[in-house]
């Protein structure tokens, strides 16, 4: 159908999407772009690279692998260091001062473009969490390396074992509370239903038919009223983020309305950030993360808000 001025609806939609993408800071950079930046000597105060890898205990050792090989100039971002260590929950955000101090020591200022990757076999696992952490602390110039270290290696780009020693910088963190949700806010939302709630864990863990990995006393299951979109589905078999068109179709298939408020959750607030990233790529930059996620919910929430098929379900 042609509209006034001879434009089709598809053309108008494409133009609108292009305008949105111009407003949003690019969430993804390609391995080719980063390799050219490294080759051109552009890494420094204006461009920093972070390896945000993390693996379950007893599997792989992220810091050891970083010391063996990483993108030239990259620093190691330790998710276990940059968190609230006083919290009883798994991976809660640090304070503004804690985050500012940590990333400042990695040579990152408020004018630095940050590119983050991880070495997970999926192509991306923890990198979107680091991407979201920068955004929730007010930093917009942050991107995920599309395809991750897996494809960096596969394509034959350079690696080094030389540790990065960046000059410390001053970073000012300002928490953007619109991108963060607490237990109390999610509990209130069960009644108000102002936000859609989407869980990024596997279907088995969401339903409670599979156990939570490496968990003692934590049953699987989900928050009442939440939908399920496993984060692995946002990635191609080769480890790249799917196209905005494919991602948008996935949200539509799950009846998630990207024009309305959305909270993402998971086990500990990590893979939920894949939902935020996927929505961002569709032009929605305001997805909030429930930082405590299922781990906090299971131990704090009223039993009638917990849905599970787990045989030892919470009474």
Q: Point out the residues that are catalytic.
A: 266
Q: Is 53 within 8 Å of 65 (Cβ atoms)?
A: yes
Taking the CA atoms of residue 157, residue 158, residue 160 and residue 165 in that order, the dihedral angle to the nearest 10 degrees is -90
**In which residue are the tokens 């929605």 written?**
284
- Helices 127-136 and 272-281, packing angle to 10 deg: 70
| DSSP bridge pairs for 306 | 223
Alpha helices, H only, 8-167: 9-23, 31-39, 62-68, 96-104, 127-136, 148-154
CB 202 within 8 A of CB 230: yes
Give CA 106 to chain center in angstroms: 20
Which is nearest to 69 in space by CA: 158, 145, 147, 165?
158
Tokens 């800071």, located at residue: 25
| CA-only gyration radius of the chain, Å | 20
Tokens of 142: 């942050």
Handedness of CA 72, 275, 142, 289 (dihedral sign): negative
- Left if phi > 0, otherwise alpha if psi is -120 to 50, otherwise beta: which for 270? alpha
Contact in structure between 276 and 264 (CB atoms under 8 Å): yes
């Amino acid at each position: 159908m042609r509209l006034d001025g001879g434009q089709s609806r598809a053309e108008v939609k494409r133009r609108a999407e292009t305008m949105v993408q111009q407003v949003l800071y690019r969430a993804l950079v390609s391995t080719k772009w980063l390799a050219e930046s490294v080759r051109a000597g552009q890494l420094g105060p204006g461009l920093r690279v972070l390896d945000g890898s993390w693996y379950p205990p007893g599997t792989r050792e992220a810091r050891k692998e970083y010391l063996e090989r990483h993108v030239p100039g990259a620093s190691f971002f330790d998710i276990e260091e940059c968190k609230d260590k006083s919290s009883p929950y798994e991976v809660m955000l640090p304070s503004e001062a804690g985050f500012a101090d940590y990333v400042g020591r990695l040579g990152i200022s408020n004018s630095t473009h940050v590119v983050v990757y991880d070495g997970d076999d999926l192509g991306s696992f923890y990198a979107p969490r680091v991407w979201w952490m920068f955004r929730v602390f007010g930093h917009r110039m942050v991107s995920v390396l599309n395809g991750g270290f897996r494809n960096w290696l596969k394509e034959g780009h350079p690696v080094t074992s030389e540790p990065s020693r960046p000059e410390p910088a001053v970073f000012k963190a300002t928490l953007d509370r619109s991108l963060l949700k607490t237990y109390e806010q999610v509990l209130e939302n069960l009644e108000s239903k102002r936000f859609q709630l989407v869980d990024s864990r596997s279907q088995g863990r969401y339903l409670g038919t599979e156990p939570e990995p490496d968990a003692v006393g934590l049953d699987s299951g989900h928050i009442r009223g939440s939908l399920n979109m496993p984060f692995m589905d946002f990635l191609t078999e080769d480890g790249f983020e799917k196209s905005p068109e494919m991602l948008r179709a996935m949200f539509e298939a799950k009846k998630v309305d990207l024009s309305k408020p959305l909270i993402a959750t998971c086990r500990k607030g990590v893979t939920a950030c894949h939902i935020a990233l996927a929505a961002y790529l569709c032009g929605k930059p305001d997805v909030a993360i429930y930082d405590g996620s299922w781990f906090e919910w299971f131990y704090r929430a009223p039993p009638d808000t917990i849905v599970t098929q787990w045989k030892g379900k919470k009474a």
